[in-house]
Structure 1
Amino acid sequence: MVYKFRVILDTEEDIFRDIAILEEDNLEDLHNAIVNAFDFDGTELASFYTCDNQWNQNEEIPLFDTGDVAGEMKTMADYPLTSILDKENTKIIYVYDFLNMWTFLVELAAIEEVESGETYPSTLFSHGMMPMDAGDKSFEADMTNDIYGEFEDDLDDDDLDMFNDEEGGEHYEDYGFEDNWN
């Protein structure tokens, strides 16, 4: 059987690739197919994350064993696609390059018969151009529940100058700290 995935870059623009891969392949094979479909160089670390139907992240499945004891942690190569994804469990999250955090929503769209003469894995469809960078993930605080906001107006510029002293913290002596306390 062939698993057909839609791999969507988590951005505001519509950028996705449809990938077909054999069901007996593993998550490392899917990782390689995604790297090729999105024209990454493949030199960065990556992980898959299991998730629920609302894309809430659960268990990490890394490309390499990063555990304290070699062989203790299961990696992408240890997970056949069929062990994680099926008709009921169709979603998984993929993150490539942990410095840039390219994040993808990967969804199993179909399970079909192998087509004779086809080579797998393959990119079936490509939509959208990759941006130059992954973009910033926005983790904005909910300002309606900002517990610090009520105190911001209580500090005047003289209070803040105490912490921004150019002479190297002589005001800290008033609080029992030495210049080199750590």
Structure 2
Amino acid sequence: MIYRFRVIFDNDTEDDIFRDIEIRETDSLEDLHNAITQSFGFDGLQMASFYISNEEWDQGEEISMFDVSEGNSSVRLMADTPLNNAVSETQTKLIYVYDFMSMWTFLVELAEIVEETEGADYPNLMFVHGQIPETAPEKMFEAENFDDDFKDEFDEDDDLNLDDYDNLDFDENWN
């Protein structure tokens, strides 16, 4: 079977920028990663991850390019994860982040599952709409009630003086 994905650049402008990609259901997420980077004109040399997502586009389990967990936990890897193991008719959404320094973010949605066309090459870039900007837009991360949550924690009336090094309550030779 062939999975048809719409990959939408998650920007805060009114410009729609997306790519429609066909790929075999048995291809890996690494194959989809390569198709996405090529279709948007990236060199593909930066770190990237997919995240399983729900209907509200909440970020779930990470599926990474490389295992950087240092043995603390098992991490699913793109190369070892077939598409049909990450998405299905009931689980259709992924978030894709490319280049963690720039945070290029894409919403990836399984739009359709179709029969393979004999003689067709896959992955196949079906449709291109809009051009990606030269630099990633800045992401604004907001925390609700941040000031209220930490106001008591860091009250200006505290007697804490960072210049008074000798009276700080910690062991400077802890390691």
Instruction: Give the structure-1-normalised TM-score.
Output: 0.78
> Counterpart in 2 of 1:147?
148
**Structure exhibiting the larger radius of gyration computed from Cα positions:** 1
Instruction: Identify the match of residue 20 of structure 2 among 18, 21, 38.
Output: 18
The Cα of 1:138 is off from its aligned counterpart by 1.2
Q: Secondary structure at the match of 1:147?
A: helix
Cα deviation 1:119-173 (Å, max 9, x = unaligned) = 1001100111111111111124557x7428x99xxx8xxxxxxx9xxxxx8xx34
Cα deviation 1:7-35 (Å, max 9, x = unaligned) = 00110321100000011101111111101
Question: Is the Cα contact below 8 Å between 1:65 and 1:71 reproduced in 2?
Answer: no
> Counterpart in 2 of 1:166?
none
> Counterpart in 1 of 2:97?
95
- Residue ranges of structure 2 left out of the alignment (5+ in a row): none
> Counterpart in 2 of 1:158?
none
Q: Secondary structure at the match of 1:131?
A: coil
Give me the whole-angstrom Cα distance separating, in 2, the residues matched to 1:109 and 1:132: 28
Letter in 2 for 1:139: F
Letter in 1 for 2:113: I
Give me the whole-angstrom Cα distance separating, in 2, the residues matched to 1:119 and 1:138: 39
The Cα of 1:74 is off from its aligned counterpart by 2.7
Does residue 43 (structure 1) correspond to residue 45 (structure 2)? The answer is yes
Aligned residue pair count = 163
Cα distance change of structure 1 residues 140 and 40 upon mapping to structure 2, 3 Å threshold: same
Give me the whole-angstrom Cα distance separating, in 2, the residues matched to 1:49 and 1:29: 15
> Counterpart in 2 of 1:176?
167
The Cα of 1:36 is off from its aligned counterpart by 0.8
Question: Is the Cα contact below 8 Å between 2:9 and 2:105 reproduced in 1?
Answer: yes
Instruction: Identify the match of residue 61 of structure 2 among 55, 59, 62.
Output: 59
Letter in 2 for 1:126: V
Say which structure is richer in helix: 1
Cα deviation 1:55-91 (Å, max 9, x = unaligned) = 1111111011212239953311111111121111100
Give me the whole-angstrom Cα distance separating, in 2, the residues matched to 1:117 and 1:131: 35
Q: Secondary structure at the match of 2:135?
A: coil
> Counterpart in 1 of 2:127?
125
Give me the whole-angstrom Cα distance separating, in 2, the residues matched to 1:173 and 1:69: 41
> Counterpart in 2 of 1:160?
none
Question: Is the Cα contact below 8 Å between 1:63 and 1:76 reproduced in 2?
Answer: yes
